[in-house]
Amino acid sequence: MYDNPKHIKDHRVNARFNDDEIEAIAHVAGLTGLQKSTLVRQATLRFIEELKAELKGEFDRDYTNLKDAG
């Protein structure tokens, strides 16, 4: 199924959104053709990459392999 077992997405994070926020997420998901969960996951990983670039050296672990692996 996966070439690399590290790519298995086994951990879940729950988040709560108000009506306006979930409506915006649903709208963007519809525009992009993504599922809401995929959109939120990709946005989160992109945000982490941006923070990592801003906070050079603040991350004590190598998170360079955060791209969606499948």
pLDDT digits (tens, 9 = 90+) for 16-66: 999 999 999 999 999 999 999 999 999 999 999 998 888 887 766 666 666
pLDDT at 14 over 80: yes
pLDDT number for residue 20: 98
> What letter represents residue 69's amino acid?
A
pTM of the model: 0.73
Q: Burial of 37 by CB count in 10 Å (0-12 exposed, 13-18 middle, 19+ buried)? A: exposed
pLDDT number for residue 65: 64
3-state secondary structure of 3: coil
Q: Burial of 1 by CB count in 10 Å (0-12 exposed, 13-18 middle, 19+ buried)? A: exposed
Is the Cβ–Cβ distance between 36 and 26 less than 8 Å? yes
pLDDT number for residue 61: 64
